[in-house]
Structure 1
Amino acid sequence: MAMRGALHEQIPMVVLTGESIGFGEDEGPDVGGQWLGHLADIGGPARLVDRCVKWSFGVNTKAILPATIQRACQLAMAAPRGPVFVSLPMEYLFDKMTKNPPSEHGSAPAPTADPKGIEELADLLAGAKNPIIISEEAGRSPLIVEHMVELAELLGAPVVESRSTGYLNFPRNHPLHGGFEPQEYLQEADALFLLGVLAPWHPASKGPRSGVKVAVLDENPLRAELPYWGFQVDLCLTGEIESSLEQLLKTLKKRLSKGEAGSAQRAEKWRKRSEERRRKWKEEALSVKEKMPIDTRWVTYELSQVLPPDAMIVEETITHRLAVHRYLDAVKPGSYFAGCIGGLGTGLATALGVKAAAPKRPVVCLIGDGSFNYDPALAALGASQEHKMPILIVLFNNMGYLSQKSGVPRYFPDGWAVRTKKFVGISIAPSPDYGTIARAFDGYGEKVEEPGQVRAALERGLKAVAAGQVALIDIRLDPVSGSDKRPDK
């Protein structure tokens, strides 16, 4: 699952695994009976993961091992980036290498999009009366976000993210941020610019009205790893986003000047809409500040009030993600990660990885109790303690799997589960006191059941993390047993 997620999220990584090709029959150290009896697969382990990686290979002679490892690193970093897999026979690892790797040379950089295509894209955007930008994954680079801000301000165009975005693609407190509902804009736009998108609306065939031009720019615009994509585009540009945006901006500035009448009028319209949207979101949060059980909107609103300005967010809440997007609007570019393509169970490990990369910044993992039960929680908390990587875990605890339950009445409204109110495999009950798990690792743990306790509990958790402890704040939400309504629908 992790490798499939890395493939779809374009995360470069080299995965090495062991195998045996001699099973103790060769000369040299015995590799152990476990390989023949329990660990061997026909075709070797590399064959098992072919569909989940960019490239996989089982080393078949020790002479090529060094060059193979070097090539694996190069392939992982080549565009579009992703995971590669190398199987290393134990017999070779016991032996001395007879060859050195080739002379060092880096991976070929992803090319900038075709200049003629950039000219055509600039003409499309400059000539549009209502251009709309949609992005889901471009924010993996903070510099790209800076370019997007410049582009949006030049065009007077909103940047819309989807609910499933894995990065912060545009500052969410910027007046040209267009929210998280691309479908709302499809009938208004006369030009759509899809920048680093995976699936910006659903179904793919229900796109913009007739005559609207659609352009896409990405290192992997047609998503060859997917069995179906289905988005109709008029201009498809393949290229590294950062350098391609730089060229697009240079080209557009020859056609437009910042603040010209058309762009300024559009920007003012979107600013008013953005202010109204954010005002409604705040009113919604404040309207449930005393609601019992605790409401997700109140939790994320309160978190936004105490979150340090340099905090980094890792999110695996699934059904609560929309509230996270809406209320944590001061998070900086490069500080938000929500990769979980393919299944649950990656949030805690991702948070530890982020903490390892940015040890001086506070890392907050927002995670549902369902996701938490899929994550290797004990191993993650142990690693946090052992390697002195304190993180704050905020548990959105609805005591079950709302994503699964909500689908049953939608698809089977007269089914047995709806009629009897017996939803099998949905509840996580009785819900344990998750805070005690953190305390078992010399951390700080707390259970929160009153809405008035939320902010103070979060502050105590952040204080514990600043003091070097892992902290887990278990916030009790509306139980799955009493609801089948997703807060993000």
Structure 2
Amino acid sequence: MYTTSSAMLDALVEHGVSHLFVNLGSDHPALVEAIARARAEGRTVPEVITCPNEMVGMSAAHGHWQVSGKAQAVIVHVECGTQALAGAVHNAAKGRAPMLIFAGASPFTQHGEMTGSRNEFIQWIQDVHDQRGLVRGYMRYDNEIRTGRNVKELVHRAFQFALSQPQGPVYLMGAREVMEEEVAPTPDEALAWRPIDPPGLNPDMVATIGQALLDARRPLIVTSFVGRNPAAVAPLVALCEQLGIGLLESVPNAMNFPHDHDLYVGNQWNQPRLQQELDSADVILVIDSDVPWIPTVSRPAENARIFHIDADPLKEQMPLWRIRAQGVCRADARIALEQLLAWAQSRTISTEEIAGRCVFWKARHDQRQRQLLAAEAKPENGVIMPEYFVSRVRAAQTPEMIFVNEGISNYHVVFDHLDLVEPGTIFTSGGGSLGWNGGAAIGVKLARPDATVVALTGDGSFMFTVPSSVHWMARRYETPFLQIVFNNRGWKSPKLSTLAVHPEGWAAQAHQIDTSFEPSPDYVGIAAAAGGAWGRQVRHPDEVDEAIAEALAMVREHRRAAVLDVWLDHH
């Protein structure tokens, strides 16, 4: 039969879904049957990627979209699988990652009235009052499939929400009986459900922001994720060059601006210090940023004029948010930047004044570069410093490398010392739930088989990735990647958070505060047992270059995942 499940698969294909990241259960017989029939008949269906852990699967869909720009689908088991998605749902929502999640539901008949009626004990205990409610607060759209007669319409509508700005995940669910329903095939109407065209700035606001930047003495742009759309980077660079604007990243989620550019003045995370560039700016344009600064430690001058552009400028999912902007605009970053650039290029501008601004920002850029270079010096005490290690990864970098960064307390070290210049070469989850990097690396490799994928992770976030599932999947689906573990034998970030609030408290004086991972797990052994990964422990600076070279050779030449367990100073 051609069923609801068959129609749903066709709708996914019509929307360009190439992969289904699945964790199947007793609610999916109709889907399993529909996939098997389509294969037997030679009909196109997405490639199925079996994911032993749901969060890993959804993280893989997230990573795939980050490099392909194509939303994928995740299939999970009733409310149990929905809950097991856990932090990956948070990451996709906060990282604005579009994807479709489909979960089955317990059958709604129990006496064999319909195909798919209850026949296993778990179908009574997995029937909950509001399955969609488990994730509703994170979804751009959610619905229940109640008949196969309009299932394609529901899939199309879901994707229209997922792909319209602000983008994000969507959720559908359907009971067994509904997914088994026989229906008539319907034509492909996906083009009639295109996402909403992204908005630009109105002409008055273009002139207002443009004039403010032109009149400023020290104009500054702050961004976090302009580079999620690589096409937005070029107009951002051109606008900064046209008007002599400095560029500061706050909690960067992508490569937003070439780090070797004279107008690039750095990135800020949780460092407890005033950002001088932020304090010295008199006009600030915040574009595509959820946290442009942390006001308790670093904020603009009181008299600075602030403008804000974002697809979600109200931050509708954040109960508390304010940056004192006098102009707030809902607009697509690429479109807005091209509008501002065109406005600036149409003006008569004093080249001497622009040159003066550029000299100022270049001095800040050069000062930062000297500080970074000094931090990269090879340690003489035999202890590997993360700055040194990342600089050696940079030395081994090749153009096809893509980095996924979940370094947590070393987030900023990775962004500082990789010194990236090309859009689309580094990503973070965009959220705050740890364990994204392993699945994301698999998704990136599936989307870009030619890339050398390097995941940088803390030891805590390594364990959150569910490495047994990650490395099994890497071997099964031939997606080898290099995973670098910054091993400081514990959770450094909770320790830093505690000391920031209680610098002289009891915890500061305590011998241990329950953040240690000692004895340290055998991270290499875990990956080897699960997926035949190669690995080695790296404890001395003299071992670093050889270890990196050997790991990259394993990934590229031997097609094996590799793990480097890099021992840093104790947290």
TM-score by length of 2: 0.79
* CA distance in structure 2 between the partners assigned to 1:103 and 1:330 by the alignment: 41
2:266 corresponding residue in structure 1: 179
Corresponding residue number in structure 1 for 2:200: 112
- Residue of structure 1 aligned with 2:536, choices 421, 446, 452: 446
After TM superposition, the structure 1 stretch with the greater mean CA deviation from structure 2, 27-36 or 275-284, is 27-36
1:168 maps to which of 237, 240, 255: 255
CA distance in 2 between partners of 1:477 and 1:346 (Å)? 22
Instruction: Find the aligned partners of 1:437 and 1:422 in 2 and give their Cα distance.
Output: 26
The 10-residue stretch of structure 1 (329-338 or 314-323) with the greater mean CA deviation from structure 2: 329-338
Out of 353, 359, 363, the position equivalent to 1:268 is 359
Kindly indicate whether the alpha-carbon contact (under 8 Å) linking 2:226 and 2:333 is maintained by their aligned counterparts in 1. yes
Distance in 2, Cα, partners of 1:214 & 1:340:
24
Q: Quote the residue 1:224 is aligned against.
A: 316
The answer to whether 1:325 aligns with 2:415 is yes
1:77-476 maps to which residues of 2 (within 5 A)? 77-97=163-183, 100=186, 103-104=189-190, 105=192, 106-162=194-250, 164-181=251-268, 183-203=275-295, 207-257=299-349, 260-286=351-377, 288-339=378-429, 341-413=431-503, 415-424=505-514, 426-440=515-529, 441-467=531-557, 468-476=559-567
What is the CA–CA distance in structure 2 between the aligned matches of 1:255 and 1:266, rounded to whole Å? Answer: 17
Q: Tell me which amino acid in the other structure corresponds to 1:170.
A: F
* Paired AA for residue 84 in structure 1: V
Identity of aligned residues (%): 27
**Partner-residue secondary structure (3-state), 1:24:** coil
- 1:357, CA displacement in angstroms? 1.3
The structural deviation recorded for 1:23 is: 4.2
Aligned to 1:11: 97
Shift of 1:295: 1.0
Q: 1:290-316 deviations in whole A, cap 9, x for unaligned?
A: 333311111111111112132110011
Aligned-pair distance for 1:401? 0.4
After superposition, the Cα gap between the structure-2 partners of 1:81 and 1:15, relative to the gap in structure 1 and judged at 3 Å, is: same
Task: After TM superposition, give the deviation of residue 201 of structure 1 in Å.
Answer: 0.7
Residue 23 of structure 1 contacts residue 35 of structure 1 at CA under 8 Å; is this kept in 2? no
In the alignment, residue 494 of structure 2 is paired with which amino acid? Q
Verify the 8 A CA contact 2:485 2:563 in the aligned structure 1.
yes
Aligned length: 475
Structure 1 residue aligned with 2:128: 41
Q: Deviations over 1:47-96 (max 9, x none)?
A: 21111111211223343322111111111001111111111111111111
- What's the CA shift for 1:137? 0.8
Helix, strand or coil: the match of 1:320? helix
Compare 330-339 and 22-31 and name the one that shifted more.
22-31
Are the counterparts in 2 of residues 126 and 255 from structure 1 also a CA contact under 8 Å? no
d(CA) in 1 for partners of 2:286, 2:470: 37
Contact 1:113–1:239 (Cα < 8 Å) also in 2: yes
- After superposition, the C-alpha distances for 1:133-191 in whole angstroms (9 at most, x for unaligned) are 111011111221111110111111111012x2111110111111011148322331111
Cα distance in 2 between the residues matched to 1:410 and 1:107: 44
The 3-state SS of whatever aligns with 1:14 is: strand
SS at match of 1:344: coil
Distance 1:415 1:111 in 2: 50
Q: 1:123 to 1:82 in 2, by over 3 A?
A: same
Distance between the aligned counterparts of 1:212 and 1:133, measured in 2? 12
Structure 1 range deviating more: 171-180 or 90-99:
90-99
Amino acid at match of 1:131: P
Are 1:67 and 2:153 counterparts?
yes
Q: Cα gap change, 1:317/1:184 in structure 2, threshold over 3 Å: closer, same or farther?
A: same
Query: CA 1:10–1:396 in structure 2 vs 1: closer, same or farther (change >3 Å)?
Result: same
Amino acid aligned to 1:54: R
* More displaced 10-residue stretch of structure 1: 176-185 or 265-274: 176-185
Corresponding residue for residue 486 of structure 1: none
**Secondary structure of 1:144's match?**
helix
Q: Distance in 1 between matches of 2:324 and 2:403?
A: 34
Q: Unpaired runs of 5+ in structure 2?
A: 1-86, 269-273
Q: 1:197 to 1:23 in 2, by over 3 A?
A: same
Tell me the distance in 2 between the aligned counterparts of 1:23 and 1:417.
56
Contact conserved, 2:145 with 2:172, CA < 8 A, in 1? yes
Greater mean alpha carbon deviation, residues 394-403 or residues 247-256: 247-256
Letter in 2 for 1:22: F
Q: CA 1:331 to 1:187, structure 2 compared with 1: closer, same or farther past 3 Å?
A: closer
Unaligned runs of at least 5 residues, structure 1: 481-489
**CA–CA separation in structure 1 for the residues paired with 2:466 and 2:348:** 52
1:37, CA displacement in angstroms? 3.1
After superposition, the C-alpha distances for 1:301-337 in whole angstroms (9 at most, x for unaligned) are: 1111112132110011100111111110035211110
Q: Aligned-pair RMSD on alpha carbons?
A: 2.0
Residue 161 of structure 2 contacts residue 170 of structure 2 at CA under 8 Å; is this kept in 1?
yes
- Aligned to 1:161, what secondary structure does the other structure show? strand
- The 3 A distance-change label for structure 1 pair 427 and 331 is farther
| Counterpart for residue 144 of structure 2 | 58
The 3 A distance-change label for structure 1 pair 204 and 415 is: closer
- What letter is aligned with 2:129? I
Q: 1:101 to 1:18 in 2, by over 3 A?
A: farther
Higher-RCO chain (CA-CA 8 Å, sequence separation at least 6): 2
Report the equivalent of 1:483: none
Aligned to 2:19: none
**Kept after mapping to 1: 8 A contact 2:467/2:527:** no
1:372-425 residue CA offsets vs partner (Å, 9 max, x unmatched): 11112111111111111110111101111011122333334565544441312x
Give per-residue Cα distances to partners, 1:343-362, cap 9 Å, x unaligned: 21111111111111111011
